[in-house]
Amino acid sequence: MIQILFISSIAVQVIFGADPLTDRVRTLPGLSFQIDYDVYSGYLKGNVNGTWKMHYWLIESKDKPNSDPLLIWFNGGPGCSSFGGAFEEMGPFYVDNDGFRLYENKYAWNARANLLFIESPVGVGFSYSTDDFHYAEANDDQTTAQNYMALKDFFASFTDYKNRKFFLSGESYAGVYVPTLTLALARGINNGDFPNSNFQGSNIGNGYMHVEYLYNSQVVWSAYHGMVSMENLRFLKANCTSRATVIGDLETYSFVDYMTTEGHLEYESDGSACGDVIERLVNMPDMEDEYNYYQDCYVDPPLFATLPQRPKRMQRRKNRARKQALNGIFDKNADSSGNPATKFNYISTDGEWGYPCWNDVLLTVWANRKDVQEALHIDVAWRATNLTWQDCNDPMYDAYNVTYTDLTTIFEDFLKENRNPNFRFLIHNGDVDTICNYLGEAWFMRRLAERNAMEASPRRQWFFSDQTAGFVQRFTHGSGVIFDLMTVKGAGHFPATDRPGPARQLITNFMWGPAPTGPDYNSTAGLKLMPTFAPLLGEATSDAPSTTSGLTPTTSKLTTTRVKMIQSGMAAQEIRRQETREVRQTDTMRSKKSESFMDKLSGTLGRKKKPEPTEGGAPHHEGDHRENEHQEMIQNRPDDAFPIKPKLDGIVYEHEGREALDYALIPAISKKIEIEEGAERRFLTRESSEDSRIHEVIRLLLGWINDEVAGERIVVKNIQDDIYDGQVLQKLIEKLADIRIEVPEFSQSEEGQIQKLEIVVSTANRLLTPGQYENPKWTHQMIHQKDIVAIIQLLVSLAVFFRAPVRFPEHVSAQVIVARKENGQVKTRYTTEQLTDKQDELCPKGERDAFDTLFDYGPDKLAHVKGSLLAFCNKHLNKINLEVNNIETQFQDGVFLVLLMGLLEGYFVPPHHFHLQVSTHEEKMKNVQFAYQLMDQVGIKPKSRVADIANGDVKSTLRLLHLLFTKYKHELGPDAERLEEELEHIVQSLEPQTTQRSRLRDVGSH
């Protein structure tokens, strides 16, 4: 008997955890497309006293959020996060391969439903216990109790949903969560404890509902999918006959009798001959994707280290990915330029080039960003720990107490207690899943139907876009309850990911099918078979301004008007329409104001004005006398180049830091230092603010920036005031990298400005420090707070990276005061920050080698060395009918480097894994970076920077080619020895010149 009846009719006063007013997400970091629906993130109570806090994620319907049903989703595991389902399966937001940008899933399930994702049980994802942040104890009954309480809290808090139709849905081990919660809800509704009685159905995808059936059927499934020899099949039929009722009929055998398990989650051979054969059929080998038998996974090598660790299964996937990577197989969708959502094959009938099956890694990167957790209202207490969000909680998985290995009695108890004759169940499976296969589910449903005298309809095809999408069979109980047993053709464990179009059609019809006849899964009512993508942020739309996005309101705080509208019960769509009207009215009023208003706006809006004509009629460009302006700026430093020091009213700080703060050059944007609890701010000391070498670095930076952005009619005068809003930085990076950053041209609100700056700074981080997604070197907060140290370091790094024609003073450092707020008090400390390095390090050359000597003293020998290295390259490239003639130009786009690495290692790199046709600097960088990744896989560590190769630095290119030659010279035989001897001879012949010139320099120095 199920032990989840903690529910009683006793009234208990509780404080609800969720709050629609404060939980609405105002901005979603990385969002790249426009939306017109709201999302919410916060916590629900998992127990009466509130010590169990369960994170939820609510996404409104795209269609009619005020009346569309609510679909509640649970991932399985046990111990896996529903946040993963939201961002990897049926939610509208997918994470790009940079771990930053969110692009659109156009087949999201919120087409005609509101989606509620709950991270369950406590200890999974952002859900936690206030008594123990590492809480990982769980069992089926406890999980049911937590989910029941969380839903009570939700309906009590979100009163708009109190009488709304709602459905449960989940996958995998949610094949336990959903049925047990379904029974608990039925009982709670019957006794009046649960606040919403409009419970209409439950969907279970690839469910773990009968453990023995799943493992026994997997042997049969594998045997007829080519995984067993005829000899082993005969052996199984003749010798592994435990509990068999018909010898020779594998469906009647009990193969689990030859296996052992500790927790009913994983099974291994018991050491017998039968067990050894069976284990190979139920546990997929390393190079087979157990979640989709026909799927080939592709993974980007730099993410290997971040793959979440799962017992056995995840390790197997990781090993498989590494092997495929070594064979030149990578994600086709590795290019994140443009809109990555457009690159997937949504209509494929096989497993090729759909959604990347390794996106759980990217979600882990995105979800652990500080700005993301702040935007999602993740509790400060949780963020203050050393915990990180993970797709699955391994300790919970290992220790989980499986209570129900057969859900038959749970369904039967529900049928006895249910009072809704129109209630429906959907049990669906991807037909190539080997974790929870369709055959085991069919056995389970057949037994349940036979035990309860259900009427079975014929099994029929169902269709998506006039193609077979799978098969469906309906079982009807005498009470009217419907059970639909379905398969999704070509889908694995995650149908919403593998077959997004059919999966969305399936779930929508399940919810909207009329009663009592039940769903027609072929219906396309209210759905577009091939939905279009939403406009990207910054793109103009014909019917609404881009500011109508549900995540980018025009004000940074919840307005009093909106609070009143929500409190009055006004529907969400009507609120948005009212706000849109206000935005348009405000824009109209602004346009009527005088042009002088532009001067009052913060950031670069006031700078981008058309140049006034001079007396002679020609436009006068403010940059014409830039040098004089720069000199004047430095001479008048306290009023221009650096901010003015304000009074420190209301600031509490340690005695030892008082003098330091008095002399700090605090930004003049406020009369008080504004530091959030736990945050830091940095300020230059007076000595550093007066350092002429720092002034010189700033002068050089200003001159360089103004030269680069001159075509934009922008003049940069102040290193802080003109950089902090992101406008100049955006134009500079776009010019240097030859890319387009997808941000609005102007942002008139502080929130919009910060969002834009975040995207721009993230782009800079990806260029300058690729792969450091979790700990970026620069943050948008640093730049927006006018942190002069961060601004200088960022600009110097850009100048060095793109080889600006600037020679900075060497070894320039700044004395910095770091102010940190802890427990309401501001504490300070001194530190030293390096602004520039040695010139050779600014433009790295590495240790002096033969190529330095060659370029310095033997330019006449250079052509001979180039020819020899070209001969080495062409000996391999000729195998695919390619030839290099010019080292200066033909290697800098990375194409030949990638192909050459494949040839040297004996594999062909498919063209869709890199940019075969290069049109931008960023594409060059990505190609060269990709080639470096291939080199790293075989232990080659180039000294030349990626940027040097992409920028066409000949010396760096020669060094790299010689490194490859040294690694693979054994393949050239006598040719290799000849080339090596020639290079050594050239260097030796130049040594006398080197020595003589060194002596002349020594004499000159005396």
Is residue 55 annotated as part of the catalytic site, yes or no?
no
Distance CA 636, CA 639 (A): 6
Confidence of residue 291 (pLDDT cuts 50, 70, 90): confident
Neighbouring CB atoms inside 10 A of 414's CB total: 23
- pLDDT digits over 586-644, tens only? 444 434 333 332 233 233 333 333 333 443 444 333 333 333 433 343 334 333 333 32
568: nearest Cα among 14, 159, 195: 159
Residues 836 and 718 grouped into a single domain = yes
Selection from 264, 266, 305 nearest residue 283 by Cα: 266
Greater confidence (679 vs 348) lies with 679
Over 70: is that where the pLDDT of 542 sits? Answer: no
Distance CA 926, CA 914 (A): 8
Residues 796, 855 within the same domain: no
Number of domains in the chain: 3
Please give the pLDDT value at position 810: 84
pLDDT at 828: 82
Q: Which residue has the higher pLDDT, 123 or 649?
A: 123
Backbone angles phi, psi at 462, to 5 degrees: -125, 160
Residue 141 has pLDDT above 80, yes or no: yes
Q: State yes or no: cis peptide before 516, omega within 30 of 0.
A: yes
What is the reported pLDDT for 83?
A: 92
Domain identity same for 706 and 787: yes
Q: Is the pLDDT of residue 62 over 90?
A: yes
pLDDT tens sequence across 774-783? 567 888 888 8
Q: Can you give 967-1006 as a three-state secondary structure string?
A: HHHHHCCHHHHHHHHHHHHHHHHHHHHHHHHHHHHHHHHC
pLDDT at residue 9 greater than cutoff 50:
no
Dihedrals phi, psi of 202, to nearest 5 degrees: -140, 135
pLDDT value, residue 203? 97
User: Per DSSP, which regions of 636-720 are E strands?
Assistant: 680-684
**What is d(CA 250, CA 522) in angstroms, rounded to the nearest whole number?**
34
Q: In terms of domains, do 939 and 877 share one?
A: yes
d(CA 618, CA 933): 53
Point out the domain boundary residue: 777, 810, 842.
842
Task: Kindly give the pairing relationship between strand 467-476 and strand 455-456.
Answer: antiparallel
Q: Considering the domain boundaries, does residue 466 fall inside one?
A: no
Q: Give the 3-state secondary structure of residue 839.
A: helix
Instruction: Say whether both 627 and 587 belong to one domain.
Output: no
Catalytic residue among 360, 391, 433, 721: 433
Structure tokens at 149: 């309480």
Helical segments of 434-559, H only: 438-451, 495-498, 500-512
- Reduce the DSSP state of residue 735 to 3 states and report it: helix
784 and 714, same structural domain? yes
Residue 976 predicted with pLDDT over 70: no
Look at residue 152 in the predicted model and tell me its pLDDT.
95
Over the stretch 95-137, which tens digit does the pLDDT of each residue have? Answer: 887 778 899 999 999 999 999 999 999 999 999 999 888 888 8
Please give the Cα distance from 769 to 746 (Å, whole number).
27
| Rounded mean pLDDT, 465-474 | 93
Contact between 195 and 158 (Cβ < 8 Å): no
Q: Are residues 821 and 915 in the same domain?
A: no
Q: Where does 591-745 show beta strands of DSSP type E?
A: 680-684
Q: What is the mean pLDDT of the chain?
A: 76
Residues 6+ away with beta carbon under 8 Å from 624: none
Q: What is the pLDDT of residue 8?
A: 34
Same-domain pairing of 827 and 888: no
Distance CA 67, CA 424 (A): 20
Q: What is the pLDDT of residue 360?
A: 61
Q: What is the pLDDT of residues 714-763, one digit of tens each?
A: 888 888 888 888 888 888 988 888 788 887 776 667 777 788 888 888 88
- Give the E-state strand segments of 692-773 in sequence order: none
Beta strand 680-684 with 52-59 is unpaired
SS3 536: strand
Query: 762 with 855, same domain?
Result: no
Look at 153-167, 361-375, 587-601, 903-917 and tell me which has the smallest mean pLDDT. 587-601
Nearest to 215 by CA among 270, 296, 178: 270
pLDDT of residue 856 exceeding 70: no
More confident residue, 767 or 575: 767
Residues in CB range of 551: below 8 A, 6 or more apart: 25, 26, 27, 28, 31, 35, 39
If one compares 661 and 924, the residue with the highest pLDDT of the two is 924
**Beta strands in 101-198, from DSSP E residues, in sequence order:** 102-104, 114-118, 128-129, 166-172
428 is catalytic: no
Instruction: Quote the CA–CA distance of 358 and 297 in Å, as a whole number.
Output: 7
Catalytic residue among 61, 127, 157, 172: 172
Q: Which of 7-11, 46-50, 853-857 has the highest mean pLDDT?
A: 46-50
Is residue 691 one of the residues assigned to a domain? yes
Which range, of 54-68, 229-243, 326-340, 466-480, averages the lowest pLDDT? Answer: 326-340
Residue 447 pLDDT more than 80? Answer: yes
- Percentage of the residues of the chain whose pLDDT score is greater than 90: 34
Q: Identify residue 248 by its one-letter amino acid code.
A: G
- Range scoring the smallest mean pLDDT among 294-308, 673-687, 695-709, 823-837: 294-308
Q: For residues 738 and 830, state if they share a domain.
A: yes
Rounded CA gap, 388 and 941, in Å?
Answer: 31
pLDDT of residue 549: 42
Q: Grade residue 544 by pLDDT with cuts at 50, 70 and 90.
A: very low
Reported in sequence order, the residue ranges of 481-591 that DSSP labels E, i.e. its strands, are 482-488
Residue 200 lies in a domain: no
Q: What is the DSSP letter of 431?
A: T
pLDDT tops 90 at residue 329: no
pLDDT band at 809 (very low <50, low <70, confident <90, very high): confident
Position 122 in a domain: no
What is the pLDDT, as a whole number, of residue 543?
42
Those residues whose C-beta lies under 8 Å from the C-beta of residue 709, and which sit 6 or more positions away, are: 716, 728, 731, 732, 735
pLDDT at 811: 86
Residue span of the structural domain in which 583 resides? 553-600
Q: How far apart are CA 32 and CA 538, in angstroms?
A: 9
Question: Which of 810, 842, 874 represents a domain boundary (last residue)?
Answer: 842
The number of beta carbons lying within 10 Å of the beta carbon of residue 763 is 23
In a domain, 310, yes or no: no
Asked if 700 and 676 touch (Cβ cutoff 8 Å), the reply is: no
Please state, in angstroms and as integers, the Cα–Cα distance from residue 797 to each residue in 537, 613, 717, 779, following that order: 28, 36, 20, 14
Say if 675 falls within a structural domain: yes
Domain membership of residue 484 (yes or no) is: no
Backbone torsion region of residue 635, taken as left when φ is above 0, otherwise alpha when ψ lies between -120 and 50, otherwise beta: alpha
Of residues 175 and 807, more confidence is placed in 175
CA distances in angstroms from 594 to 584, 591, 604, listed in the order given: 18, 8, 18
Q: Give the tokens for residue 424.
A: 């429906």
Domain match, 791 and 838 both: yes
Q: Which of 210, 493, 695, 962 is catalytic?
A: 493
855 and 829 belong to one structural domain: no
Instruction: Supply the CATH number for residue 945's domain.
Output: 1.10.418.10
Residue 974 is predicted with a pLDDT of: 59
Question: Is residue 670 among the annotated active site residues?
Answer: no
Which helix (H) or strand (E) covers residue 430, if one does? strand 424-430
The answer as to whether 698 is a domain residue is yes
Q: What burial class does residue 121 get, using C-beta atoms within 10 Å of its C-beta: 0-12 exposed, 13-18 middle, 19+ buried?
A: buried
Report pLDDT for 777.
80
Domain end, chosen from 823, 842, 861, is at: 842
Per-residue confidence (pLDDT) for residue 636, from 0 to 100: 40
- Element spanning 462, H or E: strand 460-464
Residue 295 has pLDDT above 90, yes or no: no
Radius of gyration of the chain (CA): 33
- 505-514, 804-813, 836-845, 946-955: which has the minimum mean pLDDT? 836-845
